[in-house]
Amino acid sequence: MVMSPAVRQSDNATTARSTFAKSSLSLPKSPLFGTDGIRGQVGDLLDAPLALQVGFWAGQVLRDNYGTGSIVLGQDSRNSSSMLAMALSAGLTAAGLEVWDLGLCPTPCVAYLTHASEAIGGVMVSASHNPPGDNGIKFFGADGAKLSGDLQKRVEAGIRGQLDPLTSEAWGHHYSRSELVNRYLNALQTPLNGDLDFRGMRIVLDLAWGAACDVAPKAFRALDADVVCLHDRPDGDRINVNCGSTHLEALQAAVLERHADLGFAFDGDADRVLAVDGRGRSIDGDYILYLWGQHLRQTGQLPENSIVSTVMANLGFEKAWERQGGKLVRTPVGDRYVHAEMQRTGATLGGEQSGHVICSHYGVSGDGLMTALHLAALVKRRQNPLSDLVDGSFQTYPQLLRNVRVEDRELRLNWQHCAPLQAAIEHAKTAMGDLGRVLVRASGTEPVIRVMVEAAHAELADRWADRLVLAVRQHLVG
């Protein structure tokens, strides 16, 4: 019997899709998804075969949860990003979904366009602030928020061969849609247009050779700022290297040299930003949240005077905000935890010390460019230098954050089971008492254990940070 073309296509599609349920990938025992998607060194954990599987099974889960539709796809400037993006697109289209490929763009651009369109999900290829050899895959649901933990577990179950693929008679299609990035830019500028401009302000932007290279200068120049750019070409070999939000030295020097009003440093995918005031001082997310929170409170846009931050937020920030009648709600580290708590409590402002800031009045995710525009607008409205606003806010407690590289993934992710290290942590907490606090955790984005010690006195923080770093090296590194 001769089959019709439609029947042959359906049978071929079913046969092809069934192969995804028989993956022979060598996967680690520990979960693939961390605090910010899947992240690792390219060629080690991350490669094209894995990205193909991730795309296919994410497509299956998103289809099952939201129905058939489009997926918004973006990437940063890493050399490996195009390879991973194409593999993801192949998997998504194999799952029967349409892919809108934005090309180079910030992560919050993907989140915004997913939320503002009929798309059922979004995916960004980026390792954020990590070095060039790393990369990552992060997903967004139809609402533009990071994909929930439950849905991530379902995607991983499919990759591990624990789910059956959905049936479908059609393949998806891949479309280049870089023009959609302008919709994101317009959405950023609209709340400020007609309200004020940045005429007379000189602003330095460190673009980290990454995803903000095109959009950030456009946004500030559209509001008449005098813009000076650093590291302003997409460069996969140099993204985040001695620049951007993790290395402020070049920005600090440029702000002083060019007599700028302020500066902003983005990370590789522009979902976070740190500022530098006119005196060359770094201004982290705690100060940004405090100043923006003050503005929203004064304009009646901050429910219950509540700000959501993480366990990393400085005690000085918390105590100063409480003195003003405010409330600081802490979550685990990770902007998806901040966003979840904001949704649960109805808070409109939240973020992290590292520069992820979410303001639900203007966006659905942490957005470095949105944050930079609104902080510059706040400075313009107050008619005071950023340095004066910071000096009038709060004093931070000495806080030391040290990273210990632990290459063994299983050991790193199961560090809580190391009895000698737990004993060292408890000893530090007991010894400091009310004068300090300790936070030890495995990074969800880098192969490191992070040790944070905060204390009323710098000497106390330094002493216990040294001891805890030594304990991590002795018991997890060898």
Given a cut of 50, whether residue 453 has pLDDT beyond it is yes
In whole angstroms, what is the distance from residue 34 CA to residue 43 CA?
A: 18
Q: Which residue has the tokens 């539709």?
A: 69
Same-domain pairing of 84 and 113: yes
Q: Domain for residue 185, yes or no?
A: no
Same-domain pairing of 251 and 352: yes
Look at residue 167 in the predicted model and tell me its pLDDT. Answer: 75
Mean pLDDT, residues 213-241 taken together: 97
Q: Domain for residue 338, yes or no?
A: yes
- 3-class SS at 425? helix
Q: Domain for residue 412, yes or no?
A: yes
At 435, the pLDDT band (50, 70, 90 cuts) reads confident
Q: Domain for residue 378, yes or no?
A: yes
Q: What CATH number did the domain enclosing 469 receive?
A: 3.30.310.50
* E strand residue ranges, 209-252: 226-230
Same-domain pairing of 384 and 441: no
User: Structure pTM?
Assistant: 0.87
Same-domain pairing of 68 and 143: yes
Domain range for 443 is 399-477
Percent of the chain at pLDDT exceeding 90: 82
Look at residue 9 in the predicted model and tell me its pLDDT. Answer: 44
Task: Give the residue from 365, 391, 417 where a domain finishes.
Answer: 391
Same-domain pairing of 212 and 304: yes
Q: Domain for residue 45, yes or no?
A: yes
Mean pLDDT, residues 401-410 taken together: 92
Cα–Cα–Cα angle for 414, 350, 285, nearest 5°? 80
Q: Which residue has the tokens 């600081």?
A: 328
Same-domain pairing of 366 and 409: no
Give φ, ψ of 253 to 5 degrees.
Answer: -65, -40
Task: Give the residue from 179, 201, 219 where a domain finishes.
Answer: 179
Q: Domain for residue 184, yes or no?
A: no
User: 28-37, 209-218, 413-422: which has the highest mean pLDDT?
Assistant: 209-218
Structure tokens that stand for 167 in this block: 């049936």
Same-domain pairing of 227 and 376: yes
At 16, the pLDDT band (50, 70, 90 cuts) reads low
Task: Give the residue from 359, 391, 423 where a domain finishes.
Answer: 391
Q: What's the one-letter identity of residue 386?
A: L
Given a cut of 50, whether residue 38 has pLDDT beyond it is yes
Q: What CATH number did the domain enclosing 322 receive?
A: 3.40.120.10
Given a cut of 50, whether residue 5 has pLDDT beyond it is no
Q: Domain for residue 227, yes or no?
A: yes
CB burial readout 228-249, b (16+ within 10 A) else e? bbbbbebbbebbbbebbbbbbe
Same-domain pairing of 471 and 343: no
Look at residue 421 in the predicted model and tell me its pLDDT. Answer: 95
Please write down the HEC assignment for all residues of 327-396.
EEEEECCCHHHHHHHHHHHCCCEEECCCCCEEECCCCCCCCHHHHHHHHHHHHHHHCCCHHHHHHCCCCC
Q: Which residue has the tokens 């005429």?
A: 199
Q: Domain for residue 88, yes or no?
A: yes
Given a cut of 80, whether residue 231 has pLDDT beyond it is yes
At 22, the pLDDT band (50, 70, 90 cuts) reads low
Percent of the chain at pLDDT exceeding 70: 94
Same-domain pairing of 28 and 53: yes
Same-domain pairing of 412 and 460: yes
Given a cut of 60, whether residue 119 has pLDDT beyond it is yes
Q: For the chain, what is the domain count?
A: 3
Look at residue 50 in the predicted model and tell me its pLDDT. Answer: 96
At 2, the pLDDT band (50, 70, 90 cuts) reads very low
Better-scored residue on pLDDT, 269 or 399: 269
Look at residue 313 in the predicted model and tell me its pLDDT. Answer: 95
Given a cut of 60, whether residue 7 has pLDDT beyond it is no
Q: For residue 448, what are the β-bridge partners?
A: 405
Mean pLDDT, residues 364-379 taken together: 96
Same-domain pairing of 326 and 195: yes
Same-domain pairing of 152 and 267: no
320 CB neighbour count, 10 Å cutoff: 18
Q: What's the one-letter identity of residue 389?
A: L
As annotated, the active-site residues are 128
